[in-house]
């Protein structure tokens, strides 16, 4: 082995290599999902004196009646026809008859043993070849042995055979390089390619296929550099063979250069099934689903018949785009072709498609029809149940898989069943699942770590999630997204924004390294993707962090993510909630594809800004486009919630009521409890308290009236209706005795009516119940930070300066006619103290901070977690006029645009 060690010493030229022709198809499908199951190894057959009896074969002539040539021809015929066991049986008969195998018989029987992975049988044939002298004298026999050990042995066996070949030809090198690729020793395979050329052995198409495969498994930087050289070489030698082009297409796709793959595809005419499958699977797995479907349509138009690989590649596109009808058409095609419907990979894709389109029952029917279920099929069904909140079904199916069917779960299984265990109420030992995956030996797998991290965040243990994240040796994009999502869901938006900044720093460091032979899959890419952006953008919206939102938008444009429908919808929402309605509309108008979520977001945006008429116009456009062009944007329950809210903020009572009573007949949507709550708010905000109260009582008996009573109580607070307010509060406190806002609203109603004793009694009850009022908070973005203010806050570094500025500003406002509305102070203290308390409201502190720290003329944007009080609303109108600024305040309900002493809400909020 000393010579081989020297021969394949680590070298400068690392590249991948082609597999032999009979495995070419599988090598070009590297983008297909891999499913692991317990498939038993073929039974080992030892060559003995008892010949193997071929099945369904005509009677053979007696051994002694054949010549050696006829034996060899029969043996080779069996091998060519893929009757491998018959070939081995013929070899046994041949040796028993005294006919000596030659350099034609040995390669044929070795190929047969290779194809059935019969290692012991192959070793005996190798021994015969050595005994007869063919292992060294016949390069054909030696090459077949290299291929045999490459498929059935280990790399050491391959080296031993290869280095003993005295005159290595093109096939010798191809077999060696292919074996190295099979053992995933990509750099050594490329070293072999370089040495092959140094020995002046001309590479063939098979060589280039293997080398392209090796390049595709290097880091992106190295793979592209060397892959382009391989491509250039193929052009220089005018290699236009289909399988060479297929390998180059697969290489570029795996290295993230899909457009280069597409260019190669379009430049050659002799496309085969592998060509189409390579393109369809590459686009599908790169989330370019519409292009995958376009290739699929072109393939069918050109008369190519889809196979199992095609179907399992195109179905994920239907799944992600929720194109249920197209998925059903593909399913029907598979049903007409028996060899497809029994295919476990096709079955897995169908299950995934149906479950992703929310038709879980159909997915289960597909699952039940597959007789040979591989682990991938079980995983698809378990994941489908879990993703659709059929948690008990997911857990039960997992138990059947392990206990009844005898499959051992893999990391994909556990990543799917973990969320089901967390969300299922009856599954009490939720943290025990952590110990279970450790016992299975899966803890070092980052997919499982991601799932456990998500589990703890759902349990509210965000600090445990962060500990797991920080301790991970390898983080992929899912790791980052999981942690960012965890922060967003628990309301820690500042942490989410800080984490994405850290993520980008890691990305920059990785790009600076540019390590030629580092496998990027070991470090895990940390480049923000569509999911990252759609997760973190709501955080920008919640904190009114417009600058950060714009930065993310620019990133999305630079990285071709802005056209993604989910990212686009999140951008529309972010700009709307940051007070930039025009920018929100511009993003909406520029989106190439819109779904119902996109339309709902823009409708909600206009409603929050008090533009009721425009909201209804957008709704009418949505309905018209859905009916004319068949867009997947049919109004749903959320659409009407957004419209009723818009009508409520704009005082459009008749329009809202008209839609409410027509929504079932015109749009097929049954009113839900949320719709009733919105319409109660619509009536109550307009002062129609009696009608609002009657609507609550008219709700179907089975309805949960919590939301409706809450809306009515809020309206009573606005209109100071003590009588109905007490009724609403009584019902609410029976339904939700631990919700602080119910007590606070009732206390406010009493305080506004100067019923101090009753207000004090409510606060006393709150204290006894251990219910705490949410403090008023406001946020304003400045520079790279989001500054947070709490009512009466003195912890901010500029706190003293802000309070002093507000006192001076208050005097100027009074000269302009401002009278503090002390009814907003709900404590029974003197008027002077009430005025001091009013100055400490969080939105006033945030506005003062904006005035003092931003240039003249800059728009000030503030977000608040509660409703703006009457005094702050009046005061902000005066402030906007005095300082000559536009001040945009977003409270928990809507937007207020203050300019020149007036507000966009028209004092109706």
Confidence of residue 771 (pLDDT cuts 50, 70, 90): confident
DSSP string, 205-264: HHHHHHHHHHHHTS-HHHHHHHHHHHHHHHHHTT---HHHHHHHHHHHHHTT-HHHHHHH
Distance CA 366, CA 344 (A): 10
Query: pLDDT at position 33, please?
Result: 33
For 226-255, what is each residue's pLDDT tens digit? 999 999 999 999 988 999 999 999 999 999
Residue 614, CA distances (Å) to 603, 619, 703, 907 in order: 9, 9, 32, 19
Confidence of residue 508 (pLDDT cuts 50, 70, 90): low
Confidence of residue 5 (pLDDT cuts 50, 70, 90): very low
Q: Residue-wise over 565-584: b if at least 16 C-beta within 10 A, else e? A: bbbbbbbbbbbbbbbbbebb
Q: How many residues does the chain have?
A: 909
Q: With helix as H, strand as E and coil as C, how does 171-211 read?
A: HHHHHHHHHHHHCCCHHHHHHHHHHHHHCCCCCCHHHHHHH
Confidence of residue 831 (pLDDT cuts 50, 70, 90): low
Region of poorest pLDDT, from 225-229, 418-422, 676-680:
418-422
User: Which two structure tokens, joined as six digits, stand for 666?
Assistant: 């015109």
Which residues are paired to 785 by β-bridges? 782
Q: Residue-wise over 611-643: b if at least 16 C-beta within 10 A, else e? A: bbebbbebbeebbeebeeeeeebbbeebbbbbb
- pLDDT of residue 2 exceeding 80: no
Question: What 3-state class would DSSP assign to 271?
Answer: coil
Query: pLDDT at position 864, please?
Result: 92
Q: What pTM does this model have?
A: 0.68
Query: pLDDT at position 775, please?
Result: 85
Query: pLDDT at position 403, please?
Result: 87
Long-range contacts of 694-700 (CB under 8 A, 24+ apart): 699/673
- By the 10 Å C-beta count (0-12 exposed, 13-18 middle, 19+ buried), 464 is classed as middle
For 547-601, what is each residue's pLDDT tens digit? 889 999 999 999 888 888 999 999 999 999 998 999 999 999 999 888 899 999 9
For 337-381, what is each residue's pLDDT tens digit? 877 877 888 999 999 999 999 999 999 999 998 888 899 999 999
Query: pLDDT at position 541, please?
Result: 82
Query: pLDDT at position 629, please?
Result: 62
User: Which two structure tokens, joined as six digits, stand for 92?
Assistant: 């046994």
For residues 388-399, give the mean pLDDT. Answer: 92
If we measure between CA atoms, which residue out of 653, 738, 660, 736 comes closest to residue 699?
Answer: 660
Query: pLDDT at position 633, please?
Result: 74
Q: With helix as H, strand as E and coil as C, how does 484-503 read?
A: HHHHHHCCCHHHHHHHHHHH
Query: pLDDT at position 57, please?
Result: 46
Confidence of residue 639 (pLDDT cuts 50, 70, 90): very high
pLDDT, averaged across the chain: 86
For 284-312, what is each residue's pLDDT tens digit? 998 889 999 999 999 999 989 999 999 99
For residues 721-740, give the mean pLDDT. Answer: 94
Confidence of residue 631 (pLDDT cuts 50, 70, 90): low
Region of poorest pLDDT, from 37-51, 403-417, 419-433:
37-51
If we measure between CA atoms, which residue out of 588, 591, 651, 596 comes closest to residue 622?
Answer: 596
Distance CA 39, CA 501 (A): 46
For residues 748-766, give the mean pLDDT. Answer: 89
- pLDDT of residue 12 exceeding 80: no
- pLDDT of residue 162 exceeding 90: yes
Report residue 722 CA to chain centroid gap.
50
Query: pLDDT at position 36, please?
Result: 35
For 114-135, what is each residue's pLDDT tens digit? 999 999 999 999 999 999 989 8
Query: pLDDT at position 512, please?
Result: 59
More confident position, 35 or 411: 411
DSSP-derived secondary structure letter, 889: E
For residues 57-82, give the mean pLDDT. Answer: 76
Query: pLDDT at position 770, please?
Result: 87
Are 646 and 908 spatial neighbours (Cβ–Cβ below 8 Å)? no
**% of the chain at pLDDT higher than 90:** 61
For residues 25-47, give the mean pLDDT. Answer: 34
For residues 757-783, give the mean pLDDT. Answer: 89
**% of the chain at pLDDT higher than 70:** 89
Distance CA 896, CA 888 (A): 6
Confidence of residue 494 (pLDDT cuts 50, 70, 90): confident
Region of poorest pLDDT, from 59-68, 433-442, 853-862:
59-68
Distance CA 902, CA 886 (A): 10
User: Which two structure tokens, joined as six digits, stand for 696?
Assistant: 């609550």
Placement of tokens 């009732």 in the chain? 746
Query: pLDDT at position 519, please?
Result: 43
- pLDDT of residue 525 exceeding 80: no
């Amino acid at each position: 082995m000393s010579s081989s060690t020297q021969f394949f010493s680590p070298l400068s030229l690392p590249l991948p290599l082609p597999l032999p022709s009979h495995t070419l198809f599988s090598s070009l499908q590297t983008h297909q999902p891999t499913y692991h199951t317990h498939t038993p190894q073929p039974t080992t057959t030892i060559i003995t004196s008892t010949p193997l009896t071929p099945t369904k074969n005509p009677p053979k002539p007696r051994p002694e009646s054949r010549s050696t040539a006829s034996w060899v021809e029969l043996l080779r015929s069996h091998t060519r026809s893929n009757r491998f066991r018959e070939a081995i049986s013929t070899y046994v008969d041949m040796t028993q008859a005294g006919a000596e195998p030659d350099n034609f018989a040995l390669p044929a029987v070795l190929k047969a043993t290779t194809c059935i992975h019969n290692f012991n049988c192959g070793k005996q044939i190798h021994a015969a070849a050595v005994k007869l002298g063919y292992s060294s004298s016949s390069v054909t026999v030696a090459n077949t042995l290299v291929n045999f050990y490459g498929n059935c042995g280990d790399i050491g066996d391959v080296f031993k055979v290869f280095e003993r070949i005295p005159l290595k030809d093109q096939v010798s090198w191809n077999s060696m390089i292919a074996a190295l690729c099979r053992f995933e020793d990509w750099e050594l395979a490329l070293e072999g390619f370089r040495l092959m050329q140094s020995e002046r052995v001309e590479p063939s198409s098979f060589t280039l296929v293997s080398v392209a495969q090796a390049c595709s498994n290097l880091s992106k930087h190295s793979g592209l550099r060397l892959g382009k050289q391989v491509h250039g070489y193929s052009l220089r030698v005018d290699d236009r063979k289909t399988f060479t082009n297929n390998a180059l297409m697969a290489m570029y796709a795996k290295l993230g250069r899909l457009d280069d793959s597409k260019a190669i595809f379009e430049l050659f005419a002799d496309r085969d099934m592998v060509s189409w499958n390579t393109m369809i699977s590459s686009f599908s797995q790169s989330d370019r689903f519409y292009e995958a479907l376009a290739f699929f349509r072109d393939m069918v138009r050109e008369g190519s018949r889809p196979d199992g690989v095609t179907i399992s590649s195109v179905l994920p596109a239907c799944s992600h785009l929720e194109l249920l009808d197209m998925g059903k058409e593909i399913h029907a095609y598979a049903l007409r072709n028996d060899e497809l419907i029994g295919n476990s990979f096709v079955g897995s894709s169908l299950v995934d498609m149906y479950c992703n389109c929310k038709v879980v029952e159909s997915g289960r029917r597909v699952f039940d029809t597959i007789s040979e279920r591989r682990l991938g099929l079980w995983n698809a069904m378990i994941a489908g149940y879990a993703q659709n909140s059929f948690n008990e079904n997911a857990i039960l199916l997992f138990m059947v898989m392990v206990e009844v069917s005898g499959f051992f779960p893999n990391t994909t299984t556990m990543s799917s069943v973990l969320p089901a265990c967390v969300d299922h109420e009856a599954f009490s030992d939720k943290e025990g699942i952590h110990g279970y995956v450790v016992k299975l030996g899966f803890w070092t797998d980052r997919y499982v770590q991601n799932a456990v991290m998500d589990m703890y965040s759902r349990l509210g243990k965000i600090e445990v999630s962060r500990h797991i994240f920080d301790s991970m040796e390898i983080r992929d994009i899912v790791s980052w997204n999981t942690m960012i999502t965890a922060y967003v869901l628990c309301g820690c938006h500042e942490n989410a924004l800080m984490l994405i900044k850290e993520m980008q720093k890691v990305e920059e460091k990785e790009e600076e390294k540019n390590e030629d032979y580092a496998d990027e899959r070991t470090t895990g890419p940390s480049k923000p993707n569509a999911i990252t952006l759609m997760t973190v953008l709501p955080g920008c919206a919640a904190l009114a962090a417009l600058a950060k939102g714009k930065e993310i938008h620019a990133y999305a444009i630079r990285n071709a993510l802005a056209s993604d429908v989910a990212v686009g919808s999140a951008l529309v929402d972010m700009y709307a909630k940051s007070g930039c309605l025009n920018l929100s509309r511009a993003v909406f108008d520029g989106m190439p594809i819109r779904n119902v979520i996109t339309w709902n977001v823009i409708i909600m945006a206009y409603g929050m800004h008090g533009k009721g008429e425009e909201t209804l116009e957008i709704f009418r456009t949505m309905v018209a486009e859905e009916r004319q062009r068949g867009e997947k944007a049919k109004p749903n329950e959320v659409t009407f919630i957004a419209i009723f809210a818009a009508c409520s903020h704009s005082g459009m009572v008749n329009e809202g009521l008209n839609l409410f009573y027509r929504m079932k007949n015109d749009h097929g949507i049954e009113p839900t409890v949320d719709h009733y709550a919105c319409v109660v708010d619509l009536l109550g905000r307009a002062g129609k308290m009696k009608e609002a109260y009657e609507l609550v009582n008219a709700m179907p008996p089975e309805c949960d009236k919590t939301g409706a009573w809450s809306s009515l109580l809020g309206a009573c607070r606005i209109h100071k209706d003590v009588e109905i307010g007490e009724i609403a509060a009584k019902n609410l406190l029976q339904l939700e005795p631990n919700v602080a806002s119910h007590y606070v609203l009732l206390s406010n109603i009493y305080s506004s009516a100067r019923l101090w004793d009753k207000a004090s009694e409510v606060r006393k009850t709150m204290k006894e119940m251990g219910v705490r009022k949410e403090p008023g908070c406001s946020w304003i973005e400045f520079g790279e930070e989001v500054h947070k203010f709490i009512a009466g806050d003195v912890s901010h570094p500029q706190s003293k300066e802000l309070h002093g500025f507000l006192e001076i500003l208050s005097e100027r406002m009074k000269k302009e006619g401002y009278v503090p509305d002390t009814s907003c102070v709900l404590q029974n203290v003197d008027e002077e103290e009430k005025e001091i308390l009013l100055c400490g409201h969080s939105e006033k502190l945030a506005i003062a901070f904006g005035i003092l720290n931003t240039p003249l003329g800059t728009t000030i944007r503030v977000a608040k977690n509660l409703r703006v009080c009457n005094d702050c609303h009046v005061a902000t109108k005066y402030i906007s006029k005095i300082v000559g600024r536009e001040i945009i305040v977003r409270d928990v309900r809507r937007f207020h645009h203050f300019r020149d002493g007036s507000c966009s809400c028209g004092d109706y909020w």
